[in-house]
Structure 1
């Protein structure tokens, strides 16, 4: 052993210094490994991991809770005969500005790559107190892209807190894509047997319009709305519900009353719902969902799929078993965090679906990321001289595929835009 004859105190001092130096090196190495791991996960979430154990998929199960027909009939008796989407579009009195009318900040919110082929910005005065959170279209409602004789975009907005908030849907007349106009309806939930209603107090992070139903996210599941049951209000006031003079909805001329809901039954193991979207490339058509996690989280997030019902008596609703439970038909884990938008699509002739994930920017990023993942790996859209993966919207939002046009619609803050799915695939590195 070296230095055997030196003074014990010097030997001990060297041992202490060596120990401290070794500890520092170990901590530095560990920190470097953690940092590298986080960077790797942030820049490449890797392959999807299938979830096949019953314990894993049980947490994703939904339980159907329909609103009684008598409650809906009572509400219609009090408010008048329900109307449909056309009635809302006929009152459209707000305009979306085209790209050249957007502010510099709104244009900066757009993806860097691929570039948007359609860009619109919302009326600032009408959206100032609201948070954008969901997009779906008549391309989801019907595979030809039309709802009766209209092409329509729907955008979901929310404000306030989970227990004292509001949620609304803006109905955009998209018949002339050079001139988009819209009107909004408040989302409500019937109470007291249909003799009143309350506001839906939930952040809208996802929304799918399928056939005549509109599914929107809630903190613990989904709410269901019937697009043929839009109701007119009669009083213009800040109140929500029945008032002495009639029916009020915070100043809105229309309400959409919920016709049912689906609750996640997994208890503490259940996910917090993030994005949802429609996948028409499966048989039957399916509803896909993602779990919300923070952008800087190191916890895996879950992705999963439910089949829509083929029963003609259940148009637009997920398939249920004899107990009213909606079970997953496919589920995965991903290392991607901060997922704000999810889309699943199987190309013609492909043997599996691709999952597209819009990831929110990390605290130090200006833009989000858009990933395409499957069980073999992941690729991100790339931009800049270094082919950086952070090329998506500054506020990564929902993803909705309009099959008839091949476009993916999304929203980054107050900027609504469309990108061809083909362009997304071409921008993948």
Structure 2
């Protein structure tokens, strides 16, 4: 039965290109009805302004706090040992729908210009739940230059608990889970949920991690995500995925076993990066910024983690910056400076506001380009994708009235898969949730 289902998904996947082409035509026709006054991103964010003062640098400085190896080994030993990424992917229990199986509403969330070349929708329950919201994406294209983790291409999608119902337990608000997506067969993606947790009691127990997951970047064997309320970053080791052996609503030790709120797998944090300047503050240029989105840049030397400030008011400027990854063999996937201090190596401000995703990339023969997603004020309208340098900004124009509302509907963070040249992102609106890829060359072509 499982094999026949896989064959059906392959046949449906063969219609991908034709479906996307038809969708692009339909969306382009619909986009001509959007007026310039309605479209977000009609006003250019302008060029980037470098931040070079010592006070600006101090605001971005982080302190590294790593959990002891003994604590992590104790938890792993108590839970039967590490299963790793392959252990999770060998046990996937959800199937993504190919574009041909997505609803018309889901396809309408795709970008108008440039068009997606690959797009997938979640299974019905995850597509429509009001309790969880997709926020960020990273891939094995970030983790390794080969584009694979072991033998498989993998996509990680971060979701956070956002249940607005008054009867919902407050302890669940902000719970963070990640979909581990096996992308080996591009016509039959499958996934499994993993709950993020933090060790406690010397590794004898764990508790749930609360995070908005606005940003996430997978580099080598480490996964770095934004912490709760943008207060710094959390670090996870992809070798330390563990299996819970008790199926209950509890999180942590239950009797002689471990439970993870009904999830079979957990990923425990191995440390954090906390702002040295104290608590973050939204919307004040001279304050410690709250982290918004994250992405990886493999075109710098060394590779770097790119961050953007969490969205503030529409009148506030937004800061974007980067930290260098360590090149020391014993600090794989960690940020620079073994002394525990992490300084931004580059920082800018932009007039672009409400940024939900940012990516930095330097192509041969060009200066570094920064790509920023700006959602619409209305969740019913497409957002815009701007390319910025120190000299100015460009965005695609996709309507007869010169509107820039061309990007996806309610899109989150960005991730660049260097080996394939694809820019990956996802949309977050209930019943219009799509995971999709657009060639970065197509993005540049639409801007040029």
Paired position in structure 2 for 1:130 = 132
Paired position in structure 2 for 1:150 = 152
Any idea what SS the aligned residue of 1:125 has? helix
Counterpart Cα distance in 2 of 1:394 and 1:180: 22
C-alpha contact 1:367 1:394 (8 A) present in aligned 2: yes
Residue correspondence of structure 1 range 12-411 to structure 2 within 5 A: 43-126=43-126, 128=129, 129-160=131-162, 164-218=173-227, 219-267=230-278, 268=281, 269-294=287-312, 297-320=314-337, 322=339, 324-350=340-366, 352-363=367-378, 366-411=381-426
Q: 1:346 to 1:399 in 2, by over 3 A?
A: same
C-alpha contact 2:177 2:194 (8 A) present in aligned 1: yes
Counterpart Cα distance in 1 of 2:275 and 2:299: 25
C-alpha contact 2:41 2:384 (8 A) present in aligned 1: no
Q: CA deviation at 1:266?
A: 2.4
Q: CA deviation at 1:396?
A: 2.1
For residue 437 of structure 2, the aligned residue among 405, 410, 418 is 418
- Structure 1 residue ranges without an equivalent (≥5): 1-35
Q: CA deviation at 1:42?
A: 5.3
Q: CA deviation at 1:265?
A: 2.1
Cα deviation, 1:359-399, whole Å, max 9, x if unaligned, reads: 11123871111000010000012202123111111102111
Paired position in structure 2 for 1:30 = none
How many residues are aligned here? 391
C-alpha contact 1:41 1:335 (8 A) present in aligned 2: no
Paired position in structure 2 for 1:22 = none
Cα deviation, 1:151-171, whole Å, max 9, x if unaligned, reads: 101101110489643111111
Paired position in structure 2 for 1:4 = none
Q: CA deviation at 1:39?
A: 9.5
Cα deviation, 1:157-207, whole Å, max 9, x if unaligned, reads: 110489643111111110111110011110001111111111111111111
Structure exhibiting the larger radius of gyration computed from Cα positions: 1
Cα deviation, 1:263-301, whole Å, max 9, x if unaligned, reads: 12223511111111000001110000001124x611001
**Please, what TM-score do these two structures have when normalized by structure 2?**
0.84
**Please, what TM-score do these two structures have when normalized by structure 1?**
0.88
CA RMSD of aligned residues (A): 2.0
Counterpart Cα distance in 1 of 2:187 and 2:153: 13
C-alpha contact 1:66 1:260 (8 A) present in aligned 2: yes
Q: 1:339 to 1:258 in 2, by over 3 A?
A: same
Q: CA deviation at 1:83?
A: 1.4
Counterpart Cα distance in 2 of 1:264 and 1:316: 19
Cα deviation, 1:327-383, whole Å, max 9, x if unaligned, reads: 000000011111111100001122x31000011112387111100001000001220
Q: CA deviation at 1:78?
A: 1.3
C-alpha contact 1:42 1:336 (8 A) present in aligned 2: no
Counterpart Cα distance in 1 of 2:376 and 2:88: 35
Counterpart Cα distance in 2 of 1:325 and 1:124: 45
Any idea what SS the aligned residue of 2:86 has? helix
C-alpha contact 2:39 2:376 (8 A) present in aligned 1: no
C-alpha contact 1:185 1:256 (8 A) present in aligned 2: yes
Q: CA deviation at 1:124?
A: 2.7
Q: 1:365 to 1:428 in 2, by over 3 A?
A: farther
Deviates more, 1:359-368 or 1:407-416: 359-368
C-alpha contact 2:194 2:267 (8 A) present in aligned 1: yes
Q: CA deviation at 1:245?
A: 4.5
C-alpha contact 1:97 1:121 (8 A) present in aligned 2: yes
Any idea what SS the aligned residue of 1:337 has? coil
Any idea what SS the aligned residue of 2:106 has? helix
Q: CA deviation at 1:41?
A: 7.5
Deviates more, 1:68-77 or 1:227-236: 68-77
Deviates more, 1:159-168 or 1:390-399: 159-168
